[in-house]
Chains A and B, each alone.
Chain A
């Protein structure tokens, strides 16, 4: 930022109101910058726009126009059809089945995986025992192993347990594969809490669970929210585990969506397909836009080692 406008704005901000807003908007540099950003933003928003407009059009209109043309006559029929009538194989009760399956998979998976991982991270941060770090290292390296290497042995394990193709089996799978990142998240967070607090509680006679529930848990609500966001979007968006460890009537929404859209039989109803796609994307999108900065924190924690 060696150009004149930047130095100017530095001078003016000193006397004027504080803050970092550039004072002159219409410099060539700003026009370029905002112009580029705007064009890129349009590009990123385009698929969302296409989903919305296509899902609101009737089939005749789609055949006449292109994917970007706005709907002339808005109809919500594709949404109704996608939700309650679209067929996958023999079932014609729409995506609602997949939606409720996904909810039934997601809620226990999120709850159990976070519960286990938080206690785990707490044990690793404050109650280190011999060998704990070895297991933790294995866990972190395990996060890099391609799932394809482990899926078949897990089929065997689940079959032995009698849980293969059952929703509870899938819940276990999500708990297992969510563990590395969640444990890391919680371990790092609990490590950052001053140790004096922990020591004081121990002097007062609190035990493992006492400290966890009375001190750590109330102090770490933000990190729980981050973990919930991470898990809700992750589990909702899962396809591979859903298709392997469940059977058709238990398929989560993503699997059912793919089966509806990519089925080879029948006439392609693009509007219904896009309505179904949008419906499936709606849950993570809502989570994303509601959670805002916490989502960023979640993925940053998920991506960067602590």
Chain B
């Protein structure tokens, strides 16, 4: 359909062009326009209302001198790295176990994946309740006789982010498992047979043959996890509201609070631009690799 020149082509494509108007508007107005608008205004003096008075990097300097922002970044880094490592490991192990031609595979898969259907708000509230030191896990272990047992991640500023991580992993690993399972199923049965004939133990086959073959799946999964992590917001709001104190703040919450609660738009714009930057750092190299791969393939 690439050829042009026939007079009817232009007329026929009119409907297609009309149908594509929402997409064009979304792409240009929201994804390009709104993003540029925010990036531009992050260099301005915007406070209660957006302003166009240019102040250079002032907002960024203030941002990086805020203790709350530094804590947010630190939390995001801990949460991000842990959740990437653990969800990849757990997701892959679960997928590998489900790939052993077991019975009840569908049942197990449904169980591991159902948390993913729940919202972060529901997830956060359930885990807030389970981790409640008065009634939850701490109480149970104490009842077993360990009177001094302490497990109150949501009330301890030092480890609160790990409390959130537990909930986040519970919610998200099912998805990773599904992606990994799809990757494992995409591997040729003959490779397994060949490895078996050669007498290579199963774990070695996984580590030295299967996982390297699933490189693309791993990279895509990592990009999905990473771009999701930057957006973490609801989970923290539901589970701790950023507390105790500001110990579990995250960048997305910083943005929301400064834009809609503290009436300090400039800070919100600067913080969200930093979030955009971190996503670009992840997505651009990935897109570049993907694009290059596609080119050489086709």
Contacts and interface: CB of A to CB of B under 8 A. Distances in A.
Given A33-B102, A44-B114, A176 B30 contact: yes
Interface in A6-44: 6, 20-22, 33-34, 36-37, 40-41, 44
B173 to A, nearest CB: 9
Interface string B259-289: 1100001001101110110010001000100
Interface stretch (A87-95, A219-227, A292-300): A292-300
Interface in B194-234: 195-196, 199-202, 220-221, 224, 227, 230-231, 233-234
Contact of A123 (B16, B221, B227, B255): B16
Contact of A270 (B29, B114, B135, B234): B135
A277 B125 contact: yes
Contact of A258 (B126, B179, B237, B269): B237
A153 B12 contact: no
A257 B30 CA distance: 29
Interface stretch (B20-28, B53-61, B81-89, B157-165): B20-28
> Which size class do A's interface residues fall under?
35 or more
Given A144-B279, A179-B22, A287-B117, A150 B102 contact: no
B139 interface: yes
B122 interface: yes
Contacts of A65: 135
A141 B283 contact: yes
B294 to A, nearest CB: 10
A239 interface: yes
Interface string B78-97: 00000000000000001001
B154 interface: no
Given A138-B27, A303-B175, A289 B121 contact: no
6 contacts: A2-B196, A50-B130, A116-B23, A138-B27, A239-B238, A295-B113
Given A33-B102, A150-B34, 8 more contacts: A66-B135, A126-B1, A127-B15, A141-B287, A149-B35, A237-B120, A262-B238, A299-B175
Interface of B: 1-2, 4, 12-13, 15-17, 19-20, 22-24, 26-35, 37-39, 50, 94, 97-98, 100-103, 106, 108-123, 125-130, 132, 135-137, 139-140, 143, 170, 174-175, 178-179, 182, 192, 195-196, 199-202, 220-221, 224, 227, 230-231, 233-234, 237-238, 241, 251-252, 255-256, 259-260, 265, 268-269, 271-273, 275-276, 279, 283, 287, 290
